[in-house]
Amino acid sequence: MMNEDAASDGVVMQYNIYDPYQYPWMSFNFFLLFWLAGLLSYSLHLRLSPKFRQDLDESKRRNVVIYILQGLATTVALGFQLYGSVDLLFWGKDTTTPDRIHACLMAWIIVCILYIWELLYRIEIGIPLLLHHIVTIILIQVGYSSFFDTANLSYFRYGLLLTFHATTEQFTFVALYCYRMGLMSHLHKAFFLLAAVQAAFFKALVTVALVVYFALGIMQGVFHGSWGMFWKVCFPPLLLVLYIVQLYSAYTLAIIGRRCGKPRKEQEPEEDKPSLPLEDDVESQQSQEQVGGDDGHDNPGQESNDEHA
């Protein structure tokens, strides 16, 4: 009969923080970290920024906090992801080291918990953004779990590539933060157009790579069992939804950039402007903001005369 110490040793040896079914502590810690970082960022802006305190409603304030945490967290995740993907993606190997696997898993956990935190933290959220986050979480988690269940590196590659959809949006958060806080207004057009180019280029590159790897997997017969059935049946439509949403976001960024570059007298009539699905604080509040400054460029943070009246 196994004694108590031996049983304890066996449990400890079997526990693996990176196992998809045994990472609750890491998830709890990241969620708490995001909550504390959001609280700190909100408090600092409230104390130090008159614009944040006086001109923004609660929904926009929370969006500003989200831009900061998204930019920082996805950059950290991208670092883990790039380190972990050297062998499997950049060198095309079929083997890699445990520490690179762990780095990729860390990136996945960061992205998933970040998106869950954001969905809970936001007051308003548009349908495209909701679809993007839900589909990304599903596909990353499925890539994570199917790899651990089957040890099939093809699934791991899919999850790794899918994560690039979430970790290559830094310019978007910089542009939106500066836009909302009224910082460097003369650069808003450049920021948004650069963000649109980054989004369109990287999302297309990642999607093409996923399609190529998926086609190779079909030809090589790497899909087996229930996980293989999921990838063959559910992955293509989910990837299509994710890519369409990403293209829509790139289009939105380009539209905002184009508006920022127009003199006020050339602004489109309000009823002719397309809706902006990327961010609720951008899409539905245009009529409450003065989009032209004395220099002939947008000043998105300045409130309209009607609102001050």
293 within a domain of the structure (yes/no): no
| pLDDT (0 to 100) of residue 104 | 87
| pLDDT (0 to 100) of residue 148 | 80
Range of the domain at 125: 23-263
For 50-98, how does the pLDDT look when each residue is reduced to its tens digit (9 = 90+)?
A: 999 999 999 999 999 999 999 999 999 999 999 988 888 877 777 788 8
Torsion angle in degrees (nearest 10) through CA of 243, 247, 252, 257:
130
Distance CA 114, CA 107 (A): 11
93 within a domain of the structure (yes/no): yes
Closest CA to 84 of 99, 74, 73, 72: 99
**pLDDT means per 10 residues in the chain (309 residues)?**
45 52 74 94 93 91 95 94 86 78 88 94 90 92 84 85 90 93 89 92 92 88 86 91 92 89 52 44 41 39 33
| pLDDT (0 to 100) of residue 277 | 45
DSSP assignment, residue 306?
H
pTM of the model: 0.79
- How many domains is the chain partitioned into structurally? 1
9 within a domain of the structure (yes/no): no
274 within a domain of the structure (yes/no): no
Distance CA 66, CA 133 (A): 14
Would you give the distance in Å from CA 118 to the centre of its chain? 10
220 within a domain of the structure (yes/no): yes
295 within a domain of the structure (yes/no): no
| pLDDT (0 to 100) of residue 219 | 86
Would you give the distance in Å from CA 277 to the centre of its chain? 15
The answer to whether 189 touches 261, Cβ cutoff 8 Å, is yes
| pLDDT (0 to 100) of residue 14 | 56
279 within a domain of the structure (yes/no): no
| pLDDT (0 to 100) of residue 18 | 55
